[in-house]
Chain A
Amino acid sequence: MATLTLRGLRKSFGTTEVIKGIDLDIAEREFVVFVGPSGCGKSTLLRMIAGLEPITAGELRIDDKRVNEVGPADRGLAMVFQSYALYPHMTVRQNMGFALRLARVPKAERDRKVNEASRILQLDPYLERRPKDLSGGQRQRVAIGRAIVRDPKVFLFDEPLSNLDAALRGQMRIELSRLHEELNATMIYVTHDQIEAMTMAEKIVVLRAGEIEQVGSPLELYHHPINLFVAGFIGSPRMNMLAVKVVATNPSGTEVELASGARLIVPSSGGARVGDAVTLGIRPEALRPDPNGVLQGEVRLVEQLGGLTLLHVAAEGIDDMTVQIEGSNGTRMHQSVRLSVDTSACHLFDSSGLALAHLTRHPLLAA
């Protein structure tokens, strides 16, 4: 169990800087997820922590000891790779015991640790098989087992579920959360899948182009995104973004005018002045069909997921406003609908993309 401290971490490949100064604190036993679009540097950052990529500048501290110059094996970390990276010529048992064998751990103790890990991961029937005889999910578990036997201070996961099918991915998400609970270990997890980030993380780090955009709990990021990028990245289906104009500011919030002329009062304040062009963000679930709603539009597409239905509505000058409603709702394609807006769940972003602060914290985050 360990704490990690990243101070001004930078990485350049030649003249291109891919990590541009990362400051981050990771507490003991925390499950941290690095999330961001492809090429944002999240995997590179993880590899720098692992010691597989040299650090160009800045300092990495594990348990308050500088480890920039320490080799990957001696940092006390274990990594699970995207491709699993199992050794194909070794059995599952040999794969899991390889690190211990290199460390010259006696065979009896090695076997004990491998058996313990295989018990946790339910790999007992497969110990004498080779990786090629295992399914994707089993290989994934072997890769995790290889990390567990080393008893590392920190587990690193590099997009470990991206090669699995959807059903298995959901199952492995639960297993990983359970494992975190059981092992009580610090875990850093890299993914581009915001669902994985939302469901597993205690702390999400949103990265873009080598810089941290926002750090916070999943709900913090969901309900109080700091800027347009985070708002658009976290949440599925995506937040709807509308160009609006500020018409009044008062103590109960900021009044904005939509393209159709409809007006909404959003309980946010900030530097916005009357006349400013701002962006209004509405989550799909903050919109509902309502005969008295302020928005008017035509349903272009209906996606019925069973429990939920997604309407894609052309309204307020945009073609694809997503509305999330109950699956029991019978709205059809090409129907005209009026929509009401839950303004307490709306967000305003100024012209530089920064969020205007909400007047109140979300009830789940208030404490």
Chain B
Amino acid sequence: MSSATQETPGAIKAPGGFLVMPSVIVLLAWMIVPLVMTVWFSFQYYNLLAPETAGFAGLDNYEFLVTDPDFWVSLRNTLVLLSSVLVITVVLGTLLAVLFDQPFPGRNIARVLAISPFFIMPTVAALIWKNLMMHPIYGVFGAVAQAFGFEPVDWFAQFPLASVIAIVSWEWLPFALLILLTAVQSLDHEQREAARMDGAGVIAQFVFITLPHLSRAIGVVVMIETIFLLTVFAEIFVTTSGGPGNATTNLAFLIYARALLQFDIGGASAGGVVAIVLANIVAFFLVRSIARRLEV
């Protein structure tokens, strides 16, 4: 992890710099062209349903965006989704990692089972949860509720955002578990024994020895998950399509809705630019705080 960052940027020698140019050019083209086009479109009147209004729009698209109540809701939803999933996966992942580090019969099978959700693609996972688990009539939860004589809950109607959070957490928990489990396993067992000799009980060992040891790994999990969770789309598209109303519309889904449901390329591009800015703000703070922690 840390070895990749050890070469200082200015130290690239001329022949080496020359040789990496092709890949740098390709990367720049891949990144810069779409970025510039998005920024360009965001300043244009560009609606596929109204081809007669075209031309430079100034800040109209942005004004329209920030005065749209949907935008602020989607921004809030994005952050709620991000932070809830992060908290759930890191907390549960840490506890499960410590649990799966203990020897118990069938541990290897249990580990494989716990990690397997990660291999299921988001659309499929969302479909399974929507139709097999959370559906009030056919779903497992509904059946369980009925078996105990309760009214089945229509999850996506009553708790839409919480349901999406549950699905996304289920998908990302194995990732957190995997990273944190390897970190727990790398903890020197003599350290834990030394803590036992020092009088640390199970909880004190966890708080004073295991958690500090995991802090780097937790940082990595938070960083990687953040990158992906800002752009959650498939789960929302498959289950709620952003609804009911705008209850589960996040920024990614809002942009999709603007561009491909309302055919407003200009407005969608303005949303895209906001998403880029948001991602960069988050990334800036995260990378800085985590990079500091990695310098050990």
Interface of B is mostly: helix
Q: Which one of B109-117, B197-205, B281-289 is at the A interface?
A: B197-205
Q: CA separation between A80 and B199, bound complex, in Å?
A: 15
- List which B46-62 residues lie within 8 A (CB) of chain A: none
On whether the beta carbons of A99 and B196 are closer than 8 Å, the reply is no
Q: Which one of A29-37, A70-78, A332-340 is at the B interface?
A: A70-78
On whether the beta carbons of A73 and B199 are closer than 8 Å, the reply is yes
Residue count of chain A within 8 Å CB distance of chain B: 25
On whether the beta carbons of A150 and B194 are closer than 8 Å, the reply is no
Q: Which residues of B contact A83 (CB under 8 A)?
A: 188, 190
On whether the beta carbons of A79 and B208 are closer than 8 Å, the reply is no
Q: CA separation between A150 and B197, bound complex, in Å?
A: 10
Annotate A73-110 by CB proximity to B: 1 below 8 A, 0 otherwise. 11001110111011111000000001100110000000
On whether the beta carbons of B196 and A85 are closer than 8 Å, the reply is no
- List which B137-196 residues lie within 8 A (CB) of chain A: 188, 190-191, 193-196
Q: Which residues of A contact B208 (CB under 8 A)?
A: 87, 98
Chain A CB within 10 A, most for which of B194, B195, B204: B194
Q: Which of B190, B194, B196, B212 contacts A89 (CB 8 A)?
A: B212
Q: Which of A50, A81, A87, A102 contacts B199 (CB 8 A)?
A: A102
On whether the beta carbons of B199 and A77 are closer than 8 Å, the reply is no
On whether the beta carbons of A72 and B196 are closer than 8 Å, the reply is yes
On whether the beta carbons of A50 and B197 are closer than 8 Å, the reply is yes
Closest-CB distance, A12 to chain B (whole angstroms): 17
Chain A CB within 10 A, most for which of B190, B191, B197: B197
Closest-CB distance, B207 to chain A (whole angstroms): 10
For residue B209, CB closer than 8 A to chain A, the reply is: yes
Q: CA separation between A161 and B208, bound complex, in Å?
A: 27
Closest-CB distance, B212 to chain A (whole angstroms): 4
On whether the beta carbons of B212 and A150 are closer than 8 Å, the reply is no
Known: A83-B190, A132-B296. A99 touches B198 (CB 8 A): yes
On whether the beta carbons of A150 and B198 are closer than 8 Å, the reply is yes
Closest-CB distance, B200 to chain A (whole angstroms): 6
On whether the beta carbons of A78 and B197 are closer than 8 Å, the reply is yes
On whether the beta carbons of A81 and B198 are closer than 8 Å, the reply is no
Q: Which of B193, B213, B296 contacts A85 (CB 8 A)?
A: B193
On whether the beta carbons of B199 and A99 are closer than 8 Å, the reply is yes
Q: CA separation between A88 and B186, bound complex, in Å?
A: 13
A-B contacts, 15 listed (Cβ < 8 Å): A52-B193, A73-B197, A73-B199, A77-B197, A79-B193, A83-B188, A83-B190, A85-B190, A88-B212, A98-B195, A98-B198, A98-B200, A99-B199, A102-B199, A102-B204
The 8 A-B residue pairs whose C-beta atoms are closest, nearest first, are: A73-B199, A99-B198, A85-B194, A85-B190, A89-B212, A81-B190, A102-B199, A85-B191
